[in-house]
Structure 1
Amino acid sequence: MKTYIYMVRHCDSPKEGEERTRGLTELGKKGVRSVTEILKKEKIDLIVSSPYLRATLTVQQLAEEIGQEVMIYEDLRERVFTVKETRMSDSELMPLIKKSFDDDSFSLTGAESNSECRKRAIEILQKLLITHKGHKVVISTHAVIMTLMMGYYDIKYGLDFLLNTTKPDIYRMEFENQDLLQVERLVNG
């Protein structure tokens, strides 16, 4: 019995603001429609999301249209790069991301490593694969954590993959029990 996990990278969000409460830009709001249209065709059974507003807003319209609730999982939040609540600039963030993919245990003081982030997220994914076996589950989350979860099953999902994802982005992962069989990208960036 196959289970399908749809990894959704959230739609475009403002560059400034607090991590948890940044919503979507006008471009991001337009992206919600395409996410909804693509995933409605998939006959989704369950929608889960990071607690960050931009991730939940990306799948809220889908949930409403198919009569579902968005289930929030704290451990699907983006990797914690710094103890600051506001978003780091790309010029600050990119060197940290690159170093993190070179050294899985690297983190700034008080923050989280790729290894720690992957561990918390994979626990959620593995539980979903058991409790929703044979179903189609959407996970709305963020670029780094999505890459870490996908990379757990196949090392080709690493830094180069991360740098080529779009906002939004959708990957359908086909599983047999806990084994990844294949991945298909559903968004053409």
Structure 2
Amino acid sequence: MVTSYIDWSVTSLVTTLYFVRHAHSAYSIDELNRSLSERGIEDALKVTDILKNEKIAVVLSSPYKRAIQTVQGLAAIHGLNIVIEEEFKERLLSAKPVDDFNHAIEKVWADPSFSWEGGESNLIAQKRGVRALHKVLERYEGENIAIGTHGNIMVLIMNALDNRFDFEFWRQLDMPDIYKLSFDRLKLIEVECIWG
């Protein structure tokens, strides 16, 4: 498991992102409104506890309910509103439910330009995620930012920064997971697993 990458040559203003993969949710075909399970609600409280002393200045989230629910306690203890960032939503694998999820997800990771009907390829989803990442880094430079998001889009963003964050890395993720990424402007200088 990749847990840390550090470039000690960087000494300027650091922006810190806490990518929070949402807690466990009960499966539903309604991606937007799928809620956390009872276990997920308990784990969301742990996310709040883990990050409560990190001087979070901004809390962003995917528009999906399960991602919002995972970071809403954190936003509340800091007196912050959650800023919805559409581009941190999960990658759309297919326009309709797939028969074999494992096969479907392996295929898109094996061929980054491939997409299932109506879905996003890794390249398209990654481009969307990196666009959102750059917007956040430019808008909130020097701040500590928590982002409620999803496993695939999170790893696709991280993969664009360092290709060690790959399909096998995605497969070992938990729900929730927290990864702390530190940046000098747009340059990644450190990755640390906070929970996972």
TM-score range, shorter chain: over 0.9
* Aligned pair partner of 2:75 in 50, 63, 77: 63
Determine the C-alpha separation between the residues in 1 that align with 2:84 and 2:161: 23
* Aligned pair partner of 2:23 in 2, 5, 11: 11
How much does 1:149 deviate? Answer: 0.5
* Equivalent residue number for residue 89 of structure 2: 77
* Equivalent residue number for residue 130 of structure 1: 138
Aligned partner letter, 1:185 = C
1:119 matched to 2:131? no
SS in 1 for 2:100: helix
Deviations 1:118-145 (A, max 9, x none): 1111111101111111001111110000
* Equivalent residue number for residue 193 of structure 2: 185
Determine the C-alpha separation between the residues in 1 that align with 2:105 and 2:29: 20
SS in 2 for 1:71: strand
* Aligned pair partner of 1:160 in 140, 165, 168: 168
TM-score by length of 1: 0.94
1:93 matched to 2:116? no
Determine the C-alpha separation between the residues in 1 that align with 2:112 and 2:29: 27
Determine the C-alpha separation between the residues in 2 that align with 1:93 and 1:2: 38
Instruction: In structure 1, list runs of 5 or more residues that go unmatched.
Output: none
Aligned partner letter, 1:67 = G
Instruction: In structure 2, list runs of 5 or more residues that go unmatched.
Output: 1-12
Aligned partner letter, 1:108 = W
Determine the C-alpha separation between the residues in 2 that align with 1:173 and 1:51: 21
Count of residues in correspondence between the two structures: 184
Displaced runs of 4+ in structure 1, greater than 3 A? Answer: none
TM-score by length of 2: 0.91
Determine the C-alpha separation between the residues in 1 that align with 2:20 and 2:154: 8
* Equivalent residue number for residue 182 of structure 2: 174
Structure with greater helix percent: 1
* Equivalent residue number for residue 21 of structure 1: 33
Deviations 1:9-55 (A, max 9, x none): 00000023411111000000000111001111211010111000000
Determine the C-alpha separation between the residues in 2 that align with 1:15 and 1:124: 26
Aligned partner letter, 1:62 = L
Deviations 1:78-134 (A, max 9, x none): 1111113xxx47x72111111111110111122111111111111111011111110
SS in 1 for 2:182: strand
* Aligned pair partner of 2:115 in 107, 112, 115: 107
Alignment of 1:32-51 (within 5 A): 32-51=44-63
